[in-house]
Structure 1
């Protein structure tokens, strides 16, 4: 009998100890927050790579691709303020000095049209809708009473359109105007602008300017066509890109003269780090930028920017991919190296999808 009680007591004791042990194990398996999941060792994730100040600012104001125009005036003003802040930052970036700085030479002054009556300077940057801005200035200068009256052949005839160039003034008058007049110009995605220049001058040539096809194209084909046996068929976009990305392109630039204005960088055309521009519009947001420029210049009650056809200013990635599809990665990288200053200064994304 005594042994039976001892056996029962031993069984109860073992059962009790098992219950205590089970409870202890359950408690230790719970995580500190009480979710009943065992907490394993912590894994420290690497910090996200920090963006440079330039990249951060570019993310704030990127215009490519643009889908809908901005409608709110205050937001448009903020966008322009951030664009100018980015420009100032990049201009002071010593690592980009060779790509962003340019002397105010006669070549630059030749690009700037003057309206003394309304104290406006406009720097011409071809292939971004400059013809329409010329019409605006022609009306402001009084040569014609409305944009609709201006014949197309007169717009580009600088002896008849009534648009003096800043280079025609004395040094003192140039400095006075640069320091006191309202100054602006328009930019566009650099690579898409080059496509537009190539199509306009070497493919369609709507204004019949034969020197592009007959004088410039043969020179580029002889120097940059890889397969010399395929010299027929005119200039190819690949040839054009190799020329533009060639570090020694300036030798040919001198030979081609002012015709190069259609494809040189915005830096070379307008010296944005040396001239304190008031507004830099973007082709991709021209629906909003045009009225903003007119308002800032104080002429919105005198003239209107011509109607912009729907979709014409929108960035076309498919077109860019199509034209660069036959260009080697090496040539694209060389081209980007030359135009990097334009991408950085004006907040355009590096077209990594091409590399």
Structure 2
């Protein structure tokens, strides 16, 4: 009996051991099988990801190419419009005239590091662009938007005191940039900022220009300070000294009575007199209506630092107000105003405003 019991125990142990060995082999095989099955799947996933990345990069590259082509096409259209408007004018002759009178180039800023020139135009985001130019040239020591105008000479092409030939070389070989907007919108922007505003620059403009405009163009019976009897009359008399409350129609009359708009204040001087597009061949003509896009194109063209961009901005409501301001101007005067700035309209593809029939030039 003892022998049989030992035999049974031995056989039971053998069976259990055999069973355990078999289970272990199954587990090992399962792990090996799992490895061999999953490894190709991981490799396939990696290959798919790389393919997708390459496709996305290819699509991004194609989009970039399309954006560049569209940008170049738009610029070529704008430059062609300038060439058409300048047809019949000898570019070389005009350039020689500017080199003979370099003071006429006082609105050109230069960046030798990026071989670029920017012609700033007041009331066309020139403050923002001056700040950007300061960063490009490394000469910006002021962050105040008003004070940056005092550093203009440090960035000016004329401030370098170049020889005639060196001046010519930079003008002809550097990448040149210009920003424009609708001529009458720019004019209205200048009027509202300088003659209706309350800031420090406006107070100066009111005293220098506003008071003169009111004295010369304010219609109505003349009154002396001794004869004034009402608050309204006192305010009218005071305006002749302070320049407060200039009317847009009076401002227009003031401009139209000038013999030559090329020598008036820079804020209402025509583009042609500021930047000389028939003498200087601009490589990039930006417009206020697409300012961020056009500015970005110029910055990338000259190789500006990747982190330097034209800041996001909220366009003013000047265009929405233009009609109401122009409505205060007599049709004949409005027609004359259009004629006075007609070259700016032609050069930069801007449409004029509607003038009532019967208006006389």
Q: Normalising by the residue count of structure 1, what TM-score does the alignment of the two structures yield?
A: 0.68
Q: Which residue in 2 is equivalent to 1:92? A: 87
SS at match of 1:280: strand
Contact 2:334 2:355 (C-alpha < 8 Å) held by counterparts = no
CA RMSD in angstroms, aligned pairs only:
2.8
Larger helix share, 1 or 2:
2
Q: Which entry has the higher C-alpha Rg, 1 or 2?
A: 2
Distance change in 2, residues 1:315/1:240 (3 Å): closer
Which 4+ residue blocks in structure 1 deviate beyond 6 angstroms?
none
Q: Which residue of 2 aligns with 1:189?
A: 182
Offset at residue 217 of structure 1 (A)? 1.5
C-alpha separation between the residues in 2 aligned to 1:351 and 1:187? 17
Q: Tell me which of 108, 111, 123 is aligned to 1:127.
A: 123
Quote the Cα distance in structure 2 between the aligned partners of 1:351 and 1:212: 27
The worse-fitting range, judged by mean Cα deviation, of 135-144 and 297-306 is 297-306
Once residues 285 and 313 of structure 1 are traced to their aligned partners in structure 2, the CA distance between those partners, rounded to angstroms, is: 13
Partner of 1:350: 352
Match status 1:163 vs 2:155: yes
Cα-to-partner distance string for 1:51-96 (whole Å, 9 max, x where unaligned):
xxxxxxxxxxxxxxxxxxxx944222211110001110110057xx
Residue 185 of structure 1 contacts residue 280 of structure 1 at CA under 8 Å; is this kept in 2?
yes
What is the number of equivalent residue pairs in this alignment?
267
Measure, in 1, the Cα distance between the counterparts of 2:269 and 2:138. Answer: 31
Inter-partner Cα distance in structure 1 for 2:255 and 2:147:
30
Q: Relative to 1, partners in 2 of residues 1:320 and 1:178: Cα closer, same or farther, differing over 3 Å? A: same
Alignment partner of 1:286 out of 286, 291, 311:
291
Q: Report the equivalent of 1:322.
A: 324
1:234 to 245, 252, 264: 245
Contact 1:332–1:354 (8 Å) recurs in 2: no
* 1:1-355 equivalences in 2 (<5 Å): 72-92=67-87, 104=98, 105-144=101-140, 150-158=143-151, 162-166=154-158, 168-208=161-201, 210-227=203-220, 229=222, 232=239, 233-246=244-257, 248-249=259-260, 260-299=265-304, 301=306, 303-309=308-314, 312=315, 316=319, 318-352=320-354
Higher relative contact order by CA 8 Å / sep ≥ 6: 1 or 2? Answer: 1
Q: What does the per-residue CA deviation read over 1:332-351, in whole Å, with 9 as the maximum and x for residues that have no partner?
A: 11111110000011000121
The Cα of 1:153 is off from its aligned counterpart by 4.0
TM-score by length of 2: 0.67
**Structure 2 CA distance for aligned equivalents of residues 120 and 322 of structure 1:** 39
1:36 aligned residue: none
CA contact (8 A) 1:324 1:354 kept: no
Closer/same/farther in 2, CA of residues 85 and 315 from structure 1, 3 Å limit:
farther
Aligned partners of 1:284 and 1:314 also within 8 Å: no
- Specify every segment of 5 or more residues in structure 1 that has no aligned partner in the other structure, as ranges: 1-70
Q: Is the 8 A contact 1:199 1:205 kept in 2?
A: no
Distance in structure 1 (CA, Å) of the matches to 2:74 and 2:313: 21
Distance 2:112 2:215 in 1: 46
Say if 1:107 and 1:243 are closer, same or farther in 2 by CA, change over 3 A. farther
